[in-house]
Amino acid sequence: MRRSLETETKSRNPAANRRCVSHALRPRVRTKLTPSTFDAEPSNSSDNLETGPNVALQPENCTSTAEQEERCYDPNDTRFTFVDGEDEMDFELNDYKSLRAKMSCGHTVTPTSLINWCRSKVCKMALLTPAETTYIERRMFNRVAKEYFGAKKCPGCESLVVREDQNHLRVCCTVCTRNKARAYEFCWQCLKKWTHPSEHADHCANPECVNQPLEILRKCPEITLKDVKMVISCPSVRACPTCGLLIEHSTIQCKSIVCTRCEKKFCFVCLKLSADCDSYYSACSDGVAPRQTSIPVWKRK
């Protein structure tokens, strides 16, 4: 199971504290994949594929350079040029409402077309079979669905399910309902079959049903933020006030945090958005916020 805590601290210079989460594109050495199901969770063996040496990928008809520099996106990097031109790699994305990046070769592209091109080149250079390509694509889809849409696996069929009502623990799996010709419902919290006889929304009848994120918020130790004035007792784990992602502070550097899921910046001490709080290293005017007793629901616009 993936860890639900992510440590992310920020100082005055966000770039100095940012942990780069983008992965370098590398060719893969051919390895035999034998997934029992394409929806299976990833193991810790680097997806059963060995990583080969770095290569520089460039679109066809583009002038290559002697050395390719690998870097992640930085909005403050003046070497990036953004224009309003057409997407020259995929005309179907011309309605995409975003600035286009102008590449060193002169072509303008949207983020989507550039990602699609890189993915196709990686799969081609890695000599992946159709089954391996499908396996990787489904893994990527599952990860996006879990991280950005909060999807969970149905305990009956392991299909990904998105909860429509964020305040209700009773969830119906449409796949199991169709296959079994009767409604199949499970608890979003403990992932067991729903057994409560009534329409309770906040708990099911399973005795071991526990809200793990709330337990973490309740039992996490208190810490001292060494670089922030007058903060000697603060919960070490907070739920992002915007999306509810649990974040653990490392106790060093400033009190401002950037959530890796919703990308909102908030104060770890008083839980206000950073724009409404004081400076990075001074005490908050409202003091230390108490331990959270509920998980905020992300209301995407």
Domain residue limits, the chain: 26-58+74-140, 150-209, 211-301
Burial class (CB within 10 angstroms; exposed 0-12, middle 13-18, buried 19+) of 245: buried
Distances (CA, A) of 12 to 150, 238, 257, 274: 31, 21, 11, 12
The single-letter DSSP state of residue 147 is H
Which sign does the torsion angle of CA 12, 14, 15, 16 carry?
positive
pLDDT tens for each residue of the chain, 301 residues long: 334 444 333 344 433 333 333 333 333 333 333 333 334 344 333 333 333 333 333 333 343 443 445 555 555 666 777 777 777 766 666 666 667 777 778 878 877 777 788 877 887 788 888 898 888 888 888 888 887 778 899 999 988 898 888 778 888 999 999 998 988 999 888 888 887 776 666 677 777 787 888 889 999 999 988 888 888 889 999 999 998 889 999 888 889 989 988 889 999 999 999 888 877 888 888 889 999 988 887 877 6
Give helix then strand counts, H and E, for the chain: 5, 14
Measure the CA–CA gap between 132 and 194, rounded to whole angstroms: 36
